[in-house]
Structure 1
Amino acid sequence: MIARRRTLLRAALLLATTATLAACGTLDTAKAVLLNQVSFTPAQLQAQLDKHYPRQYDQLGGLVTLSVMNPQVAIPPDSTRLHLDFDIGIEGLGMRSDRPAGHIALTSGLRYDPRSNALYMEEPTLESAELPLLGGRMNATGRDLINGWLRDYARAEPVYRLDAETREKLGERRIAGTLIRNQRVVIELDR
């Protein structure tokens, strides 16, 4: 009798483990909802950004247009911030925006917006700017251009938008917070 119970218990555990593994195998493991979180890799963020660039932004009251192109996403080891690099072009002031006129690098935290189901930059910081056409150094005009774009971008442009499949897996669960850890973006869910 005891041997039969052990056999049934082992069979039940094996069946439960197999069902769990089978269910996990059908999910995209990079996006799967596991233990109250969803995570994304820099490559996933990069793939979505690549679809939306180059972009143009009017600045200085429409006097110039800033073209932002070639986004590059990274999360360095032990970093809690997303690193983004962009090439920029400037249309106006005798310049053309169809080719890079410089390069900017920034870091940012991320916030989740439930209305748009998207991740946006949170407290972005300009790390460096190279603008050879403006004398190689950041002058007041260049700083105004970049900071104006950065404010607008952080407020209105998502870095990553959750796809329908991920939103479906989340169901009615609410987002508790967003953080960057172990070279991944992690969206934590309420329990």
Structure 2
Amino acid sequence: MARIRFPAIALLLLALAAAFVASAAPRLAGREVSIDAADAQQFLEGRFPHRQDVLGGLFEVSVSRPQLALPPGTRLRLDMDLALATAGGTPVPMGRLQLTSALRYDTAQRAFFLDQPRIDDFRPASGSGTLDESSRGLLNAWLADYAREEPLYRIDPTVAALLGGLDVRSAGVRDGRLVVTFNQDIGAAAGAVAPVE
């Protein structure tokens, strides 16, 4: 019988810990489901880099390196690197984009989406310059499509199954978490599935 050495055991424990972190569940409390910033960040990183055609394929917007922040207040902040390509060309790095947004929850998709996002800051790759009006217009068109189609976080199907038939009362950012409030208490039904407060 082969003996297991200490480094092998340590690696096994690390793998189990990583699996637990990767499958972290939302927190359920009363009528609310909430997700912390680290879980939402992990979800986002799995969906980037993201490429999307704008203006009928005339331009392609590429975004990478997302960084989500949930500061005090009702709007989240999302920073990302931005590159643009024209007519199938190679993406050209443009700079670092910072946007803020409210939050909406889509019941059918069981996912959080940006709501009324706006570009708050742009740091050009060249170190100088700003967005001109045409570039800002192009980015706003892309941002509207992105907010409509790309989830910021999708709730795990096991937890989402508990939410079937519930109506959403509100969605937003509170105390450093993404929060959706439903019309009924879901905490009791979810005790065995996710951490409940």
Q: Render the CA deviation track for 1:143-162: whole Å, top value 9, x for unaligned.
A: 12211111101111111111
TM-score (norm 2): 0.73
Report how far residue 131 of structure 1 moved: 3.2
User: Cα–Cα, structure 1 residues 186 and 29, in superposed 2: closer, same or farther, change >3 Å?
Assistant: same
Q: Render the CA deviation track for 1:84-127: whole Å, top value 9, x for unaligned.
A: 00101111389732x63211101111111111111111111110
- Partner of residue 29 from structure 2, selected from 31, 34, 40: 34
Matched ranges for 1:35-114 at <5 A: 35-76=30-71, 78-92=72-86, 96-97=90-91, 100-114=93-107
| Partner in structure 1 of residue 112 of structure 2 | 119
TM-score (norm 1): 0.75
- Check the 8 A contact 1:104/1:126 in 2, yes or no: yes
State the aligned residue count: 162
Which structure is higher in helix share? 1
The question of 1:188 aligning with 2:181 is answered yes
Greater RCO between the two (CA within 8 Å, min separation 6)? 2
Give RMSD over aligned pairs. 2.5
- Give 3-state SS (helix, strand or coil) of 1:62's partner: coil
| Partner in structure 2 of residue 160 of structure 1 | 153
Structure 2, unpaired ranges of 5+? 1-22, 185-197
The question of 1:136 aligning with 2:129 is answered yes
Larger Rg, first or second structure (1 or 2): 1
Identical-pair percentage: 35
CA distance in 2, matches of 1:187, 1:94: 39
CA distance in 2, matches of 1:96, 1:131: 18
